[in-house]
Structure 1
Amino acid sequence: MTKEKTPLKEFLEASSVLQWVLSFLFLGVACMILMVYLMFTSLWPLPTLYFVWLVLDWQTPEKGGRKTRFVRTWRVWEHFRDFFPVKLVKTVELDPNRNYVLGSHPHGIMCMGAFACFSTDSCGFSDTFPGMRVTLAILAGLFKIPIFREYLLCGGICPVSKPSLVHLLSKSGSGNAVVIVVGGAKESLASSPGVHTVVMKHRKGFVRVALEFGADLVPVYTFGENELFRQLIFSEGSLGRRLQDLFKKVMGFAPCLFVGERFGFLPYKTAVTTVVGSPVSVRKCSSPTEDEVDHYHRLYMEALTTLFHQHKVSCGLSESHQLRII
Structure 2
Amino acid sequence: MKIQFAPSEVPLHRRLQTASVLQWVYSFLGLAPTCICLFFYLLFTRFWLISVLYSVWWFFDYDTPARGGRRVPYLCGLKVWKYMRDYFPIKLVKTADLDPRQNYILGFHPHGVLVAGAFTNFCTYATGFPQLFPGLTSYLLMLPLWFRAPFFRDYIMCAGLIPSDKESAKYPLSKRGGGNAVVIAVGGAPEALDAHPGTYNVLLAKKKGFIKMAMEHGAHLVPVFSFGENEVYDQVGNQRGTMLRWIQERLQSIMGISLPLFHARGIFQYSFGLIPYRRPITTVVGKPIRVERNEKPTAEQLDALHQLYMDELSNLFEEHKGNYGVDEDTHLNFV
Q: Give the 3-state SS of the residue equivalent to 1:262 in structure 2.
A: coil
Q: In structure 2, what residue type is equivalent to 1:19? A: Q
- Which residue is equivalent to 1:181? 185
- Which residue is equivalent to 2:5? none
Q: How far apart, in 1, do the equivalents of 2:236 and 2:198 lie? A: 14
What displacement does 1:6 show?
A: 7.0
- 1:30-72 Cα distance to aligned partner (Å, 9 max, x none): 1111111111222111111111111110100011110101210
- Which residue is equivalent to 1:210? 214
Q: Does 1:249 align with 2:253?
A: yes
Q: How far apart, in 2, do the equivalents of 1:139 and 1:297 lie? A: 23
- Which residue is equivalent to 1:301? 310
What displacement does 1:189 show?
A: 0.0
Q: How far apart, in 1, do the equivalents of 2:213 and 2:239 lie? A: 33
Tell which deviates more after alignment, 253-262 or 7-16.
253-262
Q: Does 1:221 align with 2:225?
A: yes
Paired residue for 1:240, among 241, 244, 264? Answer: 244
Q: How does 1:134-213 map to 2 (within 5 A)?
A: 134-171=138-175, 173-213=177-217
Q: How far apart, in 2, do the equivalents of 1:237 and 1:30 lie? A: 35
Q: How does 1:8-157 map to 2 (within 5 A)?
A: 8-157=12-161
Q: How far apart, in 1, do the equivalents of 2:102 and 2:237 lie? A: 41
- 1:222-260 Cα distance to aligned partner (Å, 9 max, x none): 000000000013233433222211221122110110111
Q: How far apart, in 2, do the equivalents of 1:98 and 1:212 lie? A: 14
Q: Give the 3-state SS of the residue equivalent to 1:275 in structure 2.
A: strand
What displacement does 1:114 show?
A: 0.6
Q: For the structure 1 residues 36 and 172, does the alpha-carbon distance in structure 2 shift closer, same or farther, using more than 3 Å as the test? A: farther
Q: For the structure 1 residues 47 and 184, does the alpha-carbon distance in structure 2 shift closer, same or farther, using more than 3 Å as the test? A: same
Q: In structure 1, what residue type is equivalent to 2:14? A: E
Is the 8 Å Cα contact of residues 99 and 216 (structure 1) preserved in structure 2? yes
Tell which deviates more after alignment, 37-46 or 119-128.
37-46
Q: How far apart, in 2, do the equivalents of 1:251 and 1:77 lie? A: 30
- 1:260-289 Cα distance to aligned partner (Å, 9 max, x none): 123511111111000000111111001111
Q: How far apart, in 1, do the equivalents of 2:185 and 2:311 lie? A: 17
Q: How does 1:262-301 map to 2 (within 5 A)?
A: 262-263=266-267, 264-301=273-310
- Which residue is equivalent to 1:321? 330
What displacement does 1:107 show?
A: 0.4
- 1:13-38 Cα distance to aligned partner (Å, 9 max, x none): 01101111111111111111111111
Tell which deviates more after alignment, 231-240 or 31-40.
231-240
Q: Give the 3-state SS of the residue equivalent to 1:109 in structure 2.
A: coil
Q: Give the 3-state SS of the residue equivalent to 1:101 in structure 2.
A: strand
Equivalenced residues, count: 322
Q: How far apart, in 2, do the equivalents of 1:33 and 1:248 lie? A: 23
Q: In structure 2, what residue type is equivalent to 1:117? A: N
Q: In structure 2, what residue type is equivalent to 1:214? A: G
Q: CA RMSD in A?
A: 1.3
Unaligned runs of 5+ in 1: none
Q: How far apart, in 2, do the equivalents of 1:321 and 1:85 lie? A: 23
- 1:145-191 Cα distance to aligned partner (Å, 9 max, x none): 11110011111111121111221001263011110000011100000
Is the 8 Å Cα contact of residues 189 and 233 (structure 1) preserved in structure 2? no
Q: Give the 3-state SS of the residue equivalent to 2:106 in structure 1.
A: strand
Q: Does 1:310 align with 2:314?
A: no
Q: How far apart, in 2, do the equivalents of 1:249 and 1:45 lie? A: 37
Is the 8 Å Cα contact of residues 190 and 233 (structure 1) preserved in structure 2? no
Q: In structure 1, what residue type is equivalent to 2:249? A: D
What displacement does 1:318 show?
A: 2.0
Q: In structure 2, what residue type is equivalent to 1:318? A: D
- 1:73-95 Cα distance to aligned partner (Å, 9 max, x none): 11100000000110000000001
Q: How far apart, in 2, do the equivalents of 1:153 and 1:60 lie? A: 9
Tell which deviates more after alignment, 28-37 or 163-172.
163-172
